[in-house]
Amino acid sequence: MLTAFARAFKTPDLRKKLLFTLGIIVLYRAGAHIPVPGVDYTNVQECMDQAEAQQGLFGLVNMFSGGALLQITIFALGIMPYITASIILQLLTVVIPRLEALKKEGQSGQGKITQYTRYLTVALAILQGTGLVATARSGSLFQNCSVSDSIVPDDSIFVTITMVITMTAGTALVMWLGELITDRGIGNGMSILMFISIAAGFPSALWAIRQQGKIMDGWLEFSLVILCGLAMVGLVVFVEQAQRRIPVQYAKRMIGRRSYGGTSTYIPLKVNQAGVIPVIFASSLLYIPALIAQFSGSDAGWATWVENNFVTGDHPVYIITYFLLIVFFAFFYVAISFNPEEVADNMKKYGGFIPGIRAGRPTAEYLSYVLNRITWPGSLYLGLIALVPTVALVTLNANQNFPFGGTSILIIVGVGLETVKQIESQLQQRHYEGFLR
């Protein structure tokens, strides 16, 4: 990987793309430290310095924002509204025929869906920004902080509107920066910004584990976490690269005096076909009961049960529910993102068939059978990886921002692999060596 980056910097046009991407990353990280108008930054930092400031219901969103959420900066919402909008549009494409027709129109239809995604991102940013301001005012953003009620001292309508508009504009700017990276830089812009947001929290989280450790001044726990992280990275790379290749043969066709087809290819079905989306779905869904119980302020039995089982994250009910939701969403997302009948129809249309399987419905049934078989180990793998922070919370007494959590490792490894592949493909286009030298 380092060799690919070194060779890329020696190529002028690739060097410009890499430097442009690095410049956008620096701008993005700078915006993550500029506070929103109306926030008492001194009180925010005091709450951040306390032991339990990083724990609570907002760990996932704070991780995707690179720590900007709890500091209430202009990029506090980060890339999360865009991710949510993209997932919603992808799910609605299966339900709404109009969106499905746009998806089949090619580049023009995809451009229209991207425009809808931008509109939905702004709407979600307004909604989430309003919720964040209300949470900060109520003192619920930080746990066990003596000055959490004074984070937003002015409760006037003008200050509220200003804060919401600022954070919404910050989200729109982040979305624009991501699209700039995609167009003029290297890799997928949104994925790169997500990668940077997660990686930015690694040094502080690792050093916090070293400071909280008790054996050999915390260096033993620090070393164990590093070894655990390396083992997880190796496991994730192995599973993410694993795929079932279904062979496809295309019949030879004569059109005029020319023959077409007669080639052999394959359909790559990844073991983890759903990626990290099931983990995000399950985490977001489990936050809803805790948020309802927290904002209701009720002392009823249901609210107490929810706070005892779904807030801390280390309760057996939470662990089992989290694992089962990940497995369910893995099958659910694979079912809506990969349509065996559509693939079988396209193969039949262009004269393709799987050796030993009849074209049409038998091919669709075979693809569905294989997909279900490989989704089981993929979903179980996702569930086990996602439970690593919970295990660390119990064994190492680490906080919920455990650096090598399942979601963070999946995103970092996935984005890293795709970015390196894109760099290597562009290098091969510019430094192609044939058989004759």
Q: What percent of the chain has pLDDT over 90?
A: 8
CB neighbour list of residue 203: distance below 8 Å, 6 or more residues apart? none
Shared domain for 388 and 340, answered yes or no, is yes
pLDDT score for 52:
45
**Cα separation, 436 vs 218, whole angstroms:** 58
CB neighbour list of residue 13: distance below 8 Å, 6 or more residues apart? 430
pLDDT score for 298:
59
Shared domain for 241 and 375, answered yes or no, is yes
Shared domain for 194 and 254, answered yes or no, is no
**Which single residue is written with the structure tokens 């192995």?**
238
Q: E-strand spans in 252-312?
A: 253-255, 258-260, 264-270
pLDDT score for 54:
45
CATH of residue 182's domain is 1.10.3370.10
Would you say residue 409 lies in a domain?
no
What is the count of structural domains for the chain? 2
Phi-psi domain of 217 (left: phi exceeds 0; alpha: psi -120 through 50; beta: other): left
Shared domain for 267 and 353, answered yes or no, is yes
**Which single residue is written with the structure tokens 């992808």?**
90
Would you say residue 300 lies in a domain?
yes
Residue 342: both structure tokens together: 């559509």
Does position 168 have pLDDT exceeding 90, yes or no? yes
Least confident of 174-178, 249-253, 266-270: 249-253
Shared domain for 186 and 222, answered yes or no, is no
What average pLDDT does this structure show over 146-163? 80
Nearest to 167 by CA among 35, 262, 286, 42: 35
SS3 content of the chain, % helix, strand, coil (to 5): 70, 5, 25
Q: How confident is the model at residue 294 (pLDDT cuts 50, 70, 90)?
A: low
Any idea what DSSP says for residue 398? -
What average pLDDT does this structure show over 176-182? 91
Q: Which domain holds residue 310?
A: 207-404
Shared domain for 83 and 152, answered yes or no, is yes
**Cα separation, 124 vs 280, whole angstroms:** 16
Q: What is the pTM of this model?
A: 0.78
pLDDT score for 180:
92
Look at residues 173, 200, 227 and tell me which one is the last residue of a structural domain: 200
Would you say residue 437 lies in a domain?
no
Q: What percent of the chain has pLDDT over 70?
A: 78
Does position 268 have pLDDT exceeding 90, yes or no? no
pLDDT digits (tens, 9 = 90+) for 350-399: 778 888 888 888 888 998 999 999 999 988 988 888 887 666 655 655 55
**Cα separation, 392 vs 23, whole angstroms:** 35
pLDDT score for 358:
85
pLDDT score for 55:
47
pLDDT score for 395:
61
Least confident of 50-59, 95-104, 258-267: 50-59
pLDDT digits (tens, 9 = 90+) for 191-208: 888 888 888 877 777 777
Shared domain for 220 and 314, answered yes or no, is yes
Would you say residue 413 lies in a domain?
no
Shared domain for 395 and 320, answered yes or no, is yes
Would you say residue 254 lies in a domain?
yes
Shared domain for 134 and 231, answered yes or no, is no
Would you say residue 214 lies in a domain?
yes
pLDDT score for 257:
67
Q: Check the CA dihedral 174-175-178-184 and report its sign.
A: negative
What average pLDDT does this structure show over 86-98? 82
What average pLDDT does this structure show over 152-159? 82
What string of DSSP letters covers 134-176? HHHHHT-SSSS-TTGGGSS----HHHHHHHHHHHHHHHHHHHH
218 exposure class (CB count in 10 Å sphere: 0-12, 13-18, 19+) = middle
